[in-house]
Structure 1
Amino acid sequence: MTVPHQSTPSRDPRAKLPEDRRHMIRRRWLTAVTIVLLVGIPAGYLVISAGQSRDSGRDKERESSAAGLQANWPSLMKRRVFEVPVPAGAWDVAYYETSNWKTSRLYVQFTTTAGGLDAFLAESGTGRARLTSGRITVGDRDAEIAGWTFGDGATDATAAGTTGGTAWAGTSVLREEPRPDTDITVDLTDPAFPRVYAVSATSP
């Protein structure tokens, strides 16, 4: 006798899933969430970091592309990095910074007192005795970049003490790498209130 085929009764969709099936679905969800977190969080940090770096680069670019000297004090960090210790109480302070893949330069000018000049030279690692009368240590290219004019004076130690009525004196401070080298030229026409021009260069 043929037994009639009995179909498998359909499962009520409202019925609970078997325990192992629920564990499998839960594991899949946890795996998916973990992947999203592992991929999404670092990607978010990268986007934020890239935006901050871009903004920082734009700020530096705007500063470096400013036309000539800025009538302001360079930041304390810049003064430390380039070892240009502008003396306290100096006035008519201005600076300009340039940077490329090879060299970074800080151009600084200021007026100070005789005592302020001595303090500046001492903190720079030199002294008034090292200033050579008539010597202009800032090169033509650096002078042009900063917008400085030193007249037609020679740039060696045998030059005359004055150039075009201006009493120049200069020295160069050479330091061991990676510390910067600094060219210092001083206008001593009024010895009581010397005017200092300094160019400090370092490799990034």
Structure 2
Amino acid sequence: MTTLVSLPQPGTPPHRPRHRWLAAVVVVLLIAVPAGYLVLSAYQSRDSGKDKQRAAAATGLVWQWPSKLESRIYEVPVPGGSTYVAHYEANSWQRSTFYVQFRTSRRGLERFVEEAGGDPGALREGAPGVTGRQAQTVGWDLDAPGRRYAGIRVERPGERPDLAVTVDVTSEDRLRVYAVSTVEF
């Protein structure tokens, strides 16, 4: 008995399945990934100046932590773990002033005064700190009845900013700190 085996016709290539789905996926990825990247960067670029614009237009305290750059320039080291942090920056041709308020612990206050270049032992009740005019600029009421305040001024040499600090010591466990750093030109 003889079996017939058919041989492929000469001149025709062997059958290979087509991978059209793979080609479609590659094309979609080559188009979708760069398009998605462009949309994302355009969105980020559009929003990039809004925070800076909002800060520049502020006319009072902004309830957020100051940037590291602001803290370094004005030498106001807000201690970690502080709460209710707010700041405001006012600039003119003669001076730049940076207002900061926050709540902290006794240890946080000592660390703040030391890092600012002052002596925590010099912080005394009734001592001068933030002036009435400075407090009025941002709406601080540092003469509230029933509250006790302590103050300290840190005079820094050269062109470094001077720091005035007033602390509401009414609540011993959560002290309210009001600091004003001023640079004269």
Moved over 4 A (4+): 58-62
2:166 counterpart of 1:190: no
2:62 counterpart of 1:81: no
Structure 1 counterpart of 2:111, one-letter code: A
> Which residue of the other structure, out of 116, 127, 142, is the alignment partner of 1:135?
127
Q: Deviations over 1:118-158 (max 9, x none)?
A: 1101101112211121234211221111110112xxxxxxx
Structure 2 counterpart of 1:69, one-letter code: L
The gaps in structure 2 that reach 5 residues or longer are 1-48
Tell me, in whole angstroms, the C-alpha distance in 2 between the residues paired with 1:59 and 1:128: 35
Mapped contact 2:128–2:153 kept (Cα < 8 A): no
Name the larger-Rg structure: 1
The residue matched to 2:61 in structure 1 has which SS?
Answer: coil
| Equivalent position of 1:123 in the other structure | 115
| Equivalent position of 1:164 in the other structure | 145
2:84 counterpart of 1:99: no
Structure 1 counterpart of 2:158, one-letter code: E
Structure 1 counterpart of 2:86, one-letter code: A
Q: Deviations over 1:87-130 (max 9, x none)?
A: 00100000000001110010000000111111101101112211
| Equivalent position of 2:17 in the other structure | none
| Equivalent position of 1:10 in the other structure | none
| Equivalent position of 2:101 in the other structure | 109
Tell me, in whole angstroms, the C-alpha distance in 2 between the residues paired with 1:148 and 1:107: 10
Tell me, in whole angstroms, the C-alpha distance in 2 between the residues paired with 1:70 and 1:114: 24
1:65 CA drift (Å): 3.3
The residue matched to 1:80 in structure 2 has which SS?
Answer: helix
Structure 2 counterpart of 1:107, one-letter code: Y
The residue matched to 1:135 in structure 2 has which SS?
Answer: coil
| Equivalent position of 2:184 in the other structure | 203
> Which residue of the other structure, out of 68, 72, 86, is the alignment partner of 2:64?
72
The gaps in structure 1 that reach 5 residues or longer are 1-55, 152-162
Give the CA RMSD over aligned residues: 2.1
Mapped contact 1:93–1:111 kept (Cα < 8 A): yes
Mapped contact 1:64–1:99 kept (Cα < 8 A): no
Tell me, in whole angstroms, the C-alpha distance in 2 between the residues paired with 1:169 and 1:127: 13
1:62 CA drift (Å): 4.8
TM-score, length-scaled by structure 2 = 0.69
Tell me, in whole angstroms, the C-alpha distance in 1 between the residues paired with 2:173 and 2:161: 29
2:172 counterpart of 1:180: no
Q: Deviations over 1:167-192 (max 9, x none)?
A: 10000000012100000000111112
1:193 CA drift (Å): 1.2
The residue matched to 2:148 in structure 1 has which SS?
Answer: strand
> Which residue of the other structure, out of 147, 150, 158, is the alignment partner of 2:139?
147
| Equivalent position of 1:40 in the other structure | none
1:59 CA drift (Å): 7.5
